[in-house]
Structure 1
Amino acid sequence: MTDKPLANRIAVVTGASRGIGRAAALALAGQGAHVIALARTQGALEELDDEIRRAGGAATLVPVDLKDFDALDRLGAAIHERWGRLDILLGNAGLLGEIAPVTHVDQPVWDAVMAVNVTANWRLIRSLDPLLRASDAGRAIFVTSGAAHKCTAYWGPYSVSKAALEALVRTYANETLNTPIRAMLLNPGPLRTNMRRAAMPGEDPTTLRTPEDLALHIVRLASPAWTETGKIYDFPTDRLLTPQMPA
C-alpha cells in the first residue's frame, strides 16, 4: 500500500528536461506517478531519469521536437498500447521567440513560437483526449503567462501565443465538462528559469522563486481530488482566476 496521491497515475510532461518541466516531472514521480518525459535533449532526459530512479520513481523518456506533430500522434498510440489511458497531461514546453516590435519579427520565429506554444498543445489534446477520457480523473494542465493579458510592447509572438493557448484550453474545458477531465491553465509568474533570464537579462535571479517552489502546486492540480476546470491558477497570488466573459 502507498499513501502517495498519484500512485499508479500516468503523466505526460513536455519540456521535461529543465526548468518548470523538470521540477514538475520530479515532483509528479515523487508522488507516485509514472512520468512520460518529453524534451528535445536526450542527455538531459537521461539525467532526469537517473534522478527519478534514485528517488524510487519511474519514467519513460521520449526525445522529441514538439514541432514533429506526427510524433505526437504516435505518442498517443504508444500510450494506448502500453497503458490504455492517461491520467495527467502537463503542457509546459514553450518558446519565448524574439523581444522585438511585431513589425520586425521574422516569419520563422513567429512560426516556431506558434507551433510550440499553440499548435503542439492542440495536437497533444487531439492525440491524448481519448486516453484522458479513459482515466477516472484525467487532468490536463497548460502553462500560460501574464503576457497573454498584458500585451506588453515587443512581446508580440509570446503574448499572442499564450492568449491563443488560453482560448484553446478554455474551449477544451467547456467541451469536457461532463467527463472526468479537468483542464486548467497555470500562470507561474516570474521564476528562476532560463526563459526568464533570456527575457529579463538584468534581473537578479536570486530574488525569484524557483520551479521547485511551483512543483507541489502542479501536483495538486494533477491530483484526482482537483475539481475546478477552465480556470487559471495564478501561482504569484495563490488564487484561482476566472477569465472574464464579454458582456
Structure 2
Amino acid sequence: MTDSSSKPLAGRVALVTGASRGIGRASALALAAAGAHVIACAKTQGGLEELDDDIRKAGGEGATLVPFDLTDASALDRLGGAVYERWGKLDIIVHAGGMLGGLSPVSHFDVRQWAKVMAVNLTSVYRMIRSFEPLLKQSDAARAVFFTSNAAERPRAFWGPYAASKAGMEALVRSWGDEVENTSIRVAVINPDKMATRMRAEAYPGEDPEKLPDPSEIGPLIVELVAPGRIPPKETVNFKDWKAGLSAEALV
C-alpha cells in the first residue's frame, strides 16, 4: 500500500518546463519523488534523458519527455492536445523555463533578442494558459506555479527587457488567477531569489555559486504548494522567507 504521507502527489499529472536543469530539474525530481507523473519539457533531449534516468534511479515512475522550444507556439498547442488524449486532465504546471537574454542598456538591446526574451518569459505563459486551462479545469485541485524575479519589482540599469518580461508575466498570471478563482485552479508565484543556476551565473559571472542555495533546495516548497490539500497564498512566495519559516502560516 502506498503511504500517502510519503507520496502526497500520487496519481497527479505534472507538467514542468525548463526541466533539463536548474530549478525546473529540481522541481521535476521533487514532484516525481512525491508520486506525480512528470511531463518534462525542455529544449535539450539529452538533459531530459538524464533527468528521466535520475527519476528512475530514485525509484520514481519514468517521465514523459517532450523536447521543444518555448517560442514554438504550435508545439504548446500540440502538447495540450496530446495531454488531453492520454490523461484527459492536468493537475500541476510548474513553469520554470526562462531566459535572461543578456544585460544591456535598453536603447542598445537587439530587436530580435528583445522579441525572444518576451516570447520565452511572457508570451509562452499566455500560450500555456490558453492551451492548458481546459485540462487544469478537469482536475479536482489544479495548481499552476510560475517563477518571478526581484527584477520585476525592483528593475535596475541594464536589466530592462528581463525585468519587463517578468513584471508582465506577474501581471498576466495574477489576472488569470482572479479569473479562475471560482474553479479548481489555484495559482502561485515564487521568487527563488539568489540561487546557483545557470541564469544567475550568466548575470553574475564573478559570483561564487558555492555560497548560494542549490536549486534542489526548492523542491520541498514546490511539493508543498501543489499538494491537493494546500491553498497557495495569493502573495508572491519568497523562497528565502519560506526557508526561514517566515511564510509557513500563509502556506497552511
TM-fit CA distance, 1:56: 2.0
Q: Percent identity?
A: 56
Work out whether 1:192 is the aligned partner of 2:196. Answer: yes
The equivalent of 2:120 in structure 1 is: 116
Q: CA deviation at 1:229?
A: 4.9
- What secondary structure is seen at the aligned counterpart in 2 of 1:134? coil
- Aligned residue in 2 for 1:92: 96
Within-5 A mapping of 1:1-247 = 1-2=1-2, 3=4, 4-58=7-61, 59-238=63-242
2:54 partner amino acid: E
Letter in 2 for 1:135: S
Q: Which residue of 1 aligns with 2:250?
A: none
Q: Is contact 1:170–1:231 with CA below 8 Å preserved after alignment?
A: no
Amino acid at match of 1:168: L
Name the aligned partner's letter for residue 192 of structure 2: P
Q: Give the deviation of 1:45 after TM superposition.
A: 0.5
The residue type equivalent to 2:66 in the other structure is V
Is the contact between residue 173 and residue 229 of structure 1 (CA under 8 Å) also seen in structure 2? no
Q: Shift in Å at residue 109 of structure 1?
A: 0.8
Instruction: Please identify runs of 4+ aligned residues in structure 1 that moved more than 2 A.
Output: 228-231
Measure, in 1, the Cα distance between the counterparts of 2:60 and 2:99: 29
Instruction: Say which is worse superposed, 21-30 or 47-56, in terms of deviation.
Output: 47-56
1:17-69 Cα deviation digits (max 9, x unpaired): 00000011000000000000000000111011111112222210000011110
Letter in 2 for 1:15: G
**Equivalenced residues, count:** 240
Structure 2 stretches of 5 or more lacking a match? Answer: 248-252
Tell me if structure 2 keeps the 8 A contact 1:149–1:163. yes
TM-score by length of 2: 0.93
What letter matches 1:138 in structure 2?
A: A
Q: C-alpha distance in 2, partners of 1:112/1:160?
A: 13
How much does 1:230 deviate? 3.5
SS in 1 for 2:137: helix
Structure 2 counterpart of 1:51, one-letter code: D
Once the two structures are overlaid, the 10-residue window that deviates more, 33-42 or 54-63, is: 54-63
Q: Distance in 2 between matches of 1:210 and 1:34?
A: 24
| Residue identity matched to 1:57 | G
Could you say what the CA RMSD is over the residues aligned between the two structures, in angstroms?
A: 1.0
Provide the rounded CA distance (Å) in 2 between the counterparts of 1:85 and 1:231. 27
Report how far residue 231 of structure 1 moved.
Answer: 2.5
**Which ranges in structure 1 are unaligned for 5 or more consecutive residues?**
241-247
Provide closer, same or farther for how the CA distance between residues 142 and 186 of structure 1 changes in structure 2, counting only shifts above 3 A: same
